[in-house]
Amino acid sequence: MQQILYRRPTFLILSLAFLATLATLLVGAARPEGGAQASNSSHNQIIVPEEDRFTPFAQTITAGDSVRWINMDTDDHTVVRDDFLSNTGTRRTNILLKGTDSNGGKPGVVVLHFPHPGVFVYYCRFHAHLDADHQPAAPGPEGGIQDANGNYGTPMMGVITVLPAAQD
């Protein structure tokens, strides 16, 4: 029974990635002909607002696109790839995303290019860690903030689904 419980986070993350992909495909199918947009990395961005989270949580892009992370928070964060769950070819990603306090008052910016289709699951190593099943988990008692119900919140993480590039 415990083994089944440990697999649920994997199912949850993969389900969220699938739903994000499906939603993107449905929105794209509803777009009128001629309304297709060229790939533009300025539209593919993830913001760290002035709190410990990535927004949006899930994003769908096309192979060949880039994604820009912008850290509006005063604290530093990181973009760390979960190599166990990701298959985009960007192995061992572990990049510091400076906060405004350590970047001269300016937001820190990191840009990653995604040349291959797949799923990119990432987290901040300061505000999440990988559990025994390679799932991003909230920091817990060693660094998390506990609410009145005893919860340590959600891990600071996100998912990018990279679709194959359209063939001309």
For 70, the domain range is 2-28+42-141+152-163
Residue 47 lies in a domain: yes
**The predicted structure's pLDDT at residue 89:** 77
Q: How many domains does the chain have?
A: 1
Q: What is the pLDDT of residues 121-158, one digit of tens each?
A: 999 998 888 888 888 888 776 656 666 776 667 789 99
Residue 53 lies in a domain: yes
Sign of CA dihedral 54, 68, 62, 35: positive
Residue 89 lies in a domain: yes
Residue 86 lies in a domain: yes
Residue 147 lies in a domain: no
- CATH number of the domain that residue 22 is part of: 2.60.40.420
Q: What is the pLDDT of residues 18-68, one digit of tens each?
A: 544 444 433 333 333 333 344 444 468 999 998 889 999 999 999 999 999
User: In 3D, which of 129, 138, 54 has the Cα closest to residue 84?
Assistant: 129
